[in-house]
Structures are given as C-alpha cells and as structure tokens.
Amino acid sequence: MFKRAIPTALLLATGSLCAQAADSAGHGFLEDSKASLSMRTLYFNSDNRDGGAQPSKTEEAAQGFVLRYESGFTQGAVGFGVDAQALLGITLDSGTGRHNGSGMIPTDGDGAVDAWSSFGPTAKMRISKTEFRYGTLLPKLPILIANDARVLPQSFTGAQVTSTDIDGVTLTSGVLEHAVGRASTDRTGLSVAGSTQDSNKFYFAGGDYSVTKDLKAQYYFAQLEDFYNQNFFGLTHILPIDGKSSFTTDLRYFHTTSTGANSTAAGRAQGYRVSGYTEDNNGEIDNNTWVAMITYANSGHAVSLGHQRVGDGSNFVQPNQGSLVDKGAGGGSVYLPTDRMIQNFARAGEQTNFGQYSYDFAPLGMPGLKATIAYLKGTDIKARNASDQSEWERDMTLDYVLQSGSLKGLGFSVRNGKSNTDAGRNVEQNRFIINYTLSLL
C-alpha cells in the first residue's frame, strides 16, 4: 500500500502546485550555476590490539577528488536543471597485508587498486518551492545518511521530492534503488549488515516542523523492501540563556520491525537476515531504540551528555551493504549520536552513557582551531549462550581551518580513537585528513 501511496501523493502535489507556481524572475539555468572541486587526503591506520585473525593492522593513504556542478533552474512556472558529480580516488600508499579493513580503497586481488572513479548525474525540476530530483542523491535524513567518512562519499540513486511550500515545514519523500559504496565504483542493491541478499526499493517520507524558532519536531517513515519498516520521531529544543550560552535538548526514537522476506523463516533462510543477536537466533529485525542528549554551550565551550538504549530484539538497523559480494560496498552511517570513529553502540540490548567536550579556540584569538574529546560506555549487550557484554570507546579530534589568505578554507584534522569491546576486537585508530574545496563558478 505504501509503495503505491508515494507516487500518487507526488502526482497530486505536483498538480496542486502547478496551479500556484510563480515565475522566478532574475534567475536562470546558467545565472545560478555553481561548480566546485573538493580535495581530500586521508591517512588511515587501524591497529587490532588482540586476536590472531587477519588483518592485524590496516594502514594506507589515498587522495580523493570530487567535482560538483549544480545548475540553476530555467525560468518559468516549471523550472528544470541538472546537477552532476565526478569522483576520482588515487591510492597513495597501501600493500598486501595492510589493505583490508579500511573501507577506503577498492580491492584488486590481494591489494588495492591504483585509482578508481565514478560519475553521477541528477536531473531536477522545481515548481514553486517544491523540488523533484532523479539520479544521484546524497541523503542526509534521520532514516538514511550518505556516509562521508573516507576519501570519497557514499551515494545513492533514485528519486526524491522536497517541499517547503508550507512555512516552517519541510516535507521529503522518495524512493532509492541502488547505492555506490565509498570504496567502490559499482552500484549495488540496498541491504542490512549481515544479509547476503539485497533490495532495490527503499521508500521514505516525512518532514521537519519548526514549532517555534527554538523547537523542531520530526517524523519519518522508511521501508527497505524485504527487510524492515522504520518509524522515527525526533524533537530538538534550544534554550538560550544569554548571548553566549544555551542548552540544547535532543530526543530521538526509532521503532523498527521486519517486513517481507525478513519476516518469514523461508526468506531468512535465503539470506534476508540481520547479523548479531536476535531474540530467537533467527536473524529477524525487531528493535526499539531511543536516545536523549543535552548540550550546554558557553562561549567556546560545549559539553554534551547523553543516554541511549537499544531494544533486545535485534541490533539497530539502517541500510548497510557491507555483507554483499562487492567488498567496497560497505560503510554506512546511522542517525545516532553514538555513531563514532570505530563503534556505533547499536547492538541488541546495549545501554550507553556518553559524554563529549569541545572547545573552539576563537575566543582566545585562534579562530579555526577546535578540539574535541568523547567517551562512550556501553553495557548489557546481548550475546547468544553467554552473559551480557560491554564495550567502551574514547575519541580525540583536533581540527584547524585556515581563516584567510590564498588557501582560506584549507582544513587539517588529526583523529585518534580507541575501543575495547567484548563483542569483537580491541582497536586503536589514527587518521590524518586534509580538506580543501576550490570554488570554480
């Protein structure tokens, strides 16, 4: 039913908007065009501190280039345009025995490829304040986030409609069919961690509502066909204290249940299953997850404290193609504040307390310099035929962005993360990142 509802709703919305659309005088396809070249250099080092299984250490470096073009819209009641992105990755350092595990560079035999590239166009149409896009998409929604944690971003292909015709409300809906992993040039279907099968239909719809200038409410529904239905509720409130300080409250709740092949024993036997603990050890998705976080900001200081609980039925899930045949398809983000350098603290039953402190050095006369340290402790992780497990992670980050001169915007980031877990291997990671974006239009 939901699959038929989206296209019907889009047609009705389009017909309604056509009647009230207005010309966007003074703007045009070429006049509003933008182009940029983003460059990222990343050194990645992951040291597995225990266990004899390979890889015991992953160490490599790569250079990424992302060329993006965004046109304006043609004038008239209905405007048309086109966007495109061209990606190029170049291996700077890698080798047999040091390659597997980074999720950064595609694999060639036992090692890494020398270079890889891809191209993704997007057609777009605008009516009033509603935009329709079809092609390559980089969603940033509570139910799906395109991962950008390596040299090249993960992307998706499909259709998306975004409308801001109602004041204070942003409505979004669409369907995605394929993904291109951050270490791949090939399109795959969509899946969940642990599944050897995929789906080519991810339906989603929802919106953000600014109740007041300081209070935002969110609701989204997503269905990954043959895997799960997911409902998300979110609430964010900012309480200003004075001109320099504020309290921010962030509440999130996910309700996720199986559907299609994952909801049947026959389907799960074919590979439509999720990894990790499940209540009956059958791979069926069944999860409720909630998180509450508060952040106090004062001048350059920001302190965050939070608590997150994952239901006992299964791990928390959002799309992740890591178990498919394409080894570069892995690497996914989840919309949880516990999604960190190494772990995401989203295992079945896991209860996590976390805290973070950040300092922006601008008040001390050093704009562009920022330091962050975070610590997370997860307990009560469910395990089959074993007592509950626990894990912790500590992350440190130092960022600096040049504020002036010919290289204004050039950014440097040094990151160190350490994780100890009963549910896997103990890991320490180091990353050094250089980012620079050059405006071409």
pTM over 0.85, yes/no: yes
Q: 216, 188, 183: which is closest to 105 by C-alpha?
A: 183
CA distance 44 to 66: 19
* Eight-class DSSP state of 398: E
In order, the DSSP letters of 312-359 are SSS-------TTSS-TTS-----SSTT--SS----STT-EEEEEEEEE
Please choose, from the candidates 400, 394, 408, the residue with its C-alpha nearest in 3D space to the C-alpha of residue 432: 400
Ramachandran region, residue 262 (left: φ > 0; alpha: ψ -120 to 50; beta: rest):
alpha
- Give backbone dihedrals phi and psi of 337, rounded to 5 degrees, phi first: -70, -10
Question: Which pLDDT score is estimated for 53?
Answer: 67
| CATH code where residue 213 lies | 2.40.160.10
Q: Which residue type is seen at 328?
A: G
Per-residue DSSP letters for 261-296?
GGGSHHHHHTT----S--TTSS---EEEEEEEEEEE
Cα end-to-end span (Å), the chain: 44
**pLDDT per residue rounded down to tens, the chain (441 residues):** 444 444 434 433 444 344 334 344 457 899 999 999 999 999 999 998 776 667 788 999 999 999 999 999 999 999 999 999 999 999 999 877 788 778 899 988 778 999 999 999 999 999 999 999 999 999 999 999 999 999 999 999 999 999 999 999 999 999 999 999 999 999 999 999 999 999 999 999 999 999 999 999 999 999 999 999 999 999 999 999 988 899 999 999 999 999 999 999 999 999 999 999 998 899 999 999 999 999 999 999 999 999 999 999 999 999 999 999 887 888 899 999 999 999 999 999 999 999 999 999 999 999 999 999 999 999 999 998 888 999 999 999 999 999 999 999 999 999 999 999 999 899 999 999 999 999 999
pLDDT reported for residue 24: 41
- Rounded to 5 degrees, what are φ and ψ at 7? -60, -35
- Cβ-contact 56, 101 below 8 angstroms: no
Domain coverage including residue 266? 2-439
Number of domains within the chain: 1
